[in-house]
Structure 1
Amino acid sequence: MENVKNFLNLFVDYLQIERNCSQYTTVNYATDIKEFYVFMNEEGIGELRDITYQDIRLYLTKLHQKEFARTYISRKISSLRSYFKFLLREKYLQENPFSLVSLPKKEQRIPNFFYEDDLNELFSLSDLSTPLGQRDQALLELLYATGIRVSECCDIRLQDLDMYLDTVLVNGKGKKQRYVPFGSFAHEKLKLYLEDGRITLLNKQNNHHDMLFVNHRGGPLTTRGVRHVLNELIKKTSKTLHIHPHMFRHTFATHLLNGGADLRSVQELLGHAHLSSTQVYTHVSKEHLRKSYLSHHPRA
C-alpha cells in the first residue's frame, strides 16, 4: 500500500489550520480514516485511487452488519467524504467515490433529561463543608445554569468567569467563543468554591494553575473526572438513573423551552451553528406535554 500516512498527516493539518476544527473533531476524523485503511488491507486494495463505489457499498454493509448506530455510520461517511474531497483538491484523485453515498436517515431519538425532582435530589447531596463537596456543587450548578458541554466546562479558566456580570466566556466547537449567563444559585456556589474549596485543593500538592475546576489532587479536572463525579453522586440517590454529563445540557434546553424561551435564544446559549440542532428539544417539550396530558386529563 502507498504511503498513506503522509496523506493523513496533510489532511490533519488541513483540518486544524484551514478548517479550524477542534482536537476532538480532528481525532475522530483520523480514527475513521485509519479504520477505513484497515478495511482496504482486508480487501487487498492497494491504493486510494483504486477505491470504487462498489468497495464503499461493501464497507457500509460491514458497518451495518456490526449493528452500529446510524449516527455512528453517518459520522464515518462524513469523515471519509471530506478526506476524499481533500485528496481530490490536492489532485491526487480524479473523483470522489464517497460523493455518491447518501447519509443514513437520522433516528428521531429524544434526548434524556432530568425532571425537577431528580435535580433537587442531586443538588442536595454535596457536603458543602468539604472542598470536594463545594467543587461538586459548583460543577452541578454551572452545568445546569449554562447548558455548556462538559468539555467546554473543563476548559474554563478563572479569567473566563465574570462574577460581577454573572457570565462565563465559553470556547465552543470550532474554537467559536460565546458568553453564557448564569444565575444566583450558580453564583453562590461558585463563590464558595473559589474562596474556599479550590484554594484548599490547589494547596494540597502546591499546585498553581488558572483552570476553574480541579481534581482531588489539585490538577485540572478532565471530562472523565466529571463523569466520575456524577456517577458517584448518583450512587447516593434513590434514583435508578443512567446518568451522563450531557444530560445537564439536554435538561437546560428542555427546561428553558418548557418555560417559554424562544428557540433562537436557546440556540445562541447552546452554541449550535444550526437551528435544526436545537429543534430536537422541541420534541422533548412536546413529549413532556403529551405525558402530562395523558397523566392528568380525565378522558385522555
Structure 2
Amino acid sequence: MKTTHEGKRSAGGGRRQVRPANPRGKAPTFTELELDDVFDSFNHRYDKRDRVIFMFSFFLGLRAKELAGLKLGDVLHPSGQVKAGVRLRAETTKGLKVRETFLEKKELLEALDDFLAERKKQGRFDMDQPLFMSQKGGHFSPNTMQKLFARLFLKAGFRGSSHSGRRTFATRLNAMGVDLRSIQVLMGHAFVSTTQGYVETSPERLRKFIKLL
C-alpha cells in the first residue's frame, strides 16, 4: 500500500482490479490498487487530514462515529508522542463499550505524523480538540463524516461509503488467516456472526483453498 501520488499500475497496464459483486445493501470492499487510486485523488486543501481518516477506516476498521469522536489526546501522549494504541471512549462507540486498537502500520504512522506536523504549525494542538476538525473547526458529526467518505470516493471515481473501510479491514484480516474471534474484537462486534457478515470472499481466495487439497 502506497500513500504518495506516484500512481500504481498492474502488470497488464490497467490500474484497477475488478471487484466481485457485493451483496445487496452492503458497502463495497476495495483492493489495494483501488485504494491507491483513491489516495491519488487527494490533492485538495484537507488532503493530509482526509488521508489519515481513510487510513483509520481501512487499517483500523473504525466507524464514522468513532472517527468523528476522536480527540488529539486519544492518539497522543501529553508530551506529543504518538501512542501505541488508540483507546476508543465508550461514548464514541456503537455499543457504548471501551475498545482499543493499535497504531502499528508504518504507512499510517507516517501519514499521521505528516498531518500532526501541519496541525502543530497551525497552532491547533490542544489535546481536547478534535483529531479531525471540520471546516468550522469542531468535531465532525457521524453524518458529516459519512458524507465526507461518499464525496471523496465519488471524486476518485468509485462508489463507496464509510463502511467500506470496515468491510475491507475485516476481509483483508480474514484473508491473511486472522481468526474471526480476533477480528470480532478489533471490529467491536458483540457477536461473531456480525463479523462473518463483513467478510467478503473472492474467487481468487477460493482458488487458493482448492489448491490446498
TM-score normalised over the length of structure 2: 0.71
CA distance in 1, matches of 2:25, 2:135: 36
Deviation at residue 236 of structure 1 after TM alignment = 3.2
Bigger-Rg structure (1/2): 1
If asked which structure has higher relative contact order (CA below 8 Å, sep 6+), I would say: 2
Identity of aligned residues (%): 26
Shift of 1:281: 3.4
Distance 1:236-1:112 versus aligned 2 partners, 3 A rule: closer
Name the count of aligned residue pairs: 178
Aligned to 1:122: 38
Q: For each residue in 1:175-206, what CA deviation from the matched residue of structure 2 results, as whole angstroms up to 9, or x when unmatched?
A: 20111013121111111112214753849xxx
| Structure 2 unaligned blocks of 5 or more | 1-22
Q: 1:232 offset after TM fit, Å?
A: 3.2
Alignment of 1:179-198 (within 5 A): 179-182=100-103, 183-197=105-119
Cα–Cα, structure 1 residues 150 and 110, in superposed 2: closer, same or farther, change >3 Å? closer
Contact 2:27 2:160 in 1 (8 A): no
Correspondences of 1:285-300 after superposition (within 5 Å): 285=201, 288-289=202-203, 293=207
- 1:255: which partner in 2? 172
Contact kept? 1:157, 1:211, Cα under 8 Å: yes
Could you say which structure has the higher helix fraction? 1
1:141 aligns with 2:44: no
CA distance change for structure 1 residues 123 and 160 in 2, over 3 Å: closer, same or farther?
Answer: same
* 2:87 corresponding residue in structure 1: 169
Alignment partner of 1:150 is 2:68: no
| Residue 201 to residue 159, structure 1, CA distance change in 2 (3 Å) | closer
- C-alpha distance in 2 between matches for 1:198 and 1:144: 25
The CA RMSD measured in Å over matched residues stands at 3.0
Secondary structure of the residue aligned to 1:169 is strand
Q: Which structure 1 residue ranges, 5 or more long, are not aligned?
A: 1-106
Contact 1:160 1:169 in 2 (8 A): yes
Give distance in 1, aligned partners of 2:26 and 2:139. Answer: 33
| Deviation for aligned residue 1:165 | 4.4
Contact 1:144 1:251 in 2 (8 A): yes
